[in-house]
Amino acid sequence: ERGLRAGTENVAGIAGFGVAADLVLQNLDVMSKVAILRDSLEQGLLAIDPSINIHGRAVDRLPNTVCVSMPGVDAETQVISLDLAGIMVSAGSACSSGKVTASHVLKAMGLDDEIISSAIRVSLGWQTTIDDVKNFLVAWRDLYENARVPRATAAE
C-alpha cells in the first residue's frame, strides 16, 4: 500500500498456503522415491558412457532434476529428438524459458561453452515411473549413438 495505509490481508492465499504446507508434510516420502528414480536415471546414463557430464551430481541438490550434457549435440537438437520420442525435456531452467543466452549457472560452475550448449534438464515428478526412466534412457541412447556415428559426405 506504499506505506500510506494498511492493506487487506490475502486470507484465501494465506489459507491456501497453509493447506499446501500440510500436503507437503504428508507427502515428503514421495520425493525420496523421486530421488531414487533420479539416481537410477543417472546410473543408466553413466552405463551408456561413464564419461558423460551429469552436472551437480556430486553435491546435495533437488531430488527431481538431472542436468546432463551430450557434447557435440546441441541441446535444442536433443530436445527435438526426445520430443519426437514422446519425452519432454528442456534446454534450460524453467526460469530461463525463452532466453537464448548460455546458462549463467553452468558458466559459474566453470563449464566451457560446448558443454553448456549441449546441456539438457530432465525433470521427474511424483507421477514418474521406472518405465518412464527406462524409456528416456532408450531414447537418449539412440540419440547418443546416432550422433556419434560419422556421417557420410555427399562425395562418398
**Cα separation, 34 vs 40, whole angstroms:** 10
Short-list 62, 156, 75, CA closest to 120:
75
Helices (H), 27-129: 28-48, 75-84, 104-108, 113-117
- Cα-based torsion angle of the residue sequence 79, 80, 82, 88 in order, rounded to the nearest 10 degrees: 60
β-pair partners for 114? none
Q: Which residues are catalytic?
A: 95
- What is the amino acid identity at position 7? G
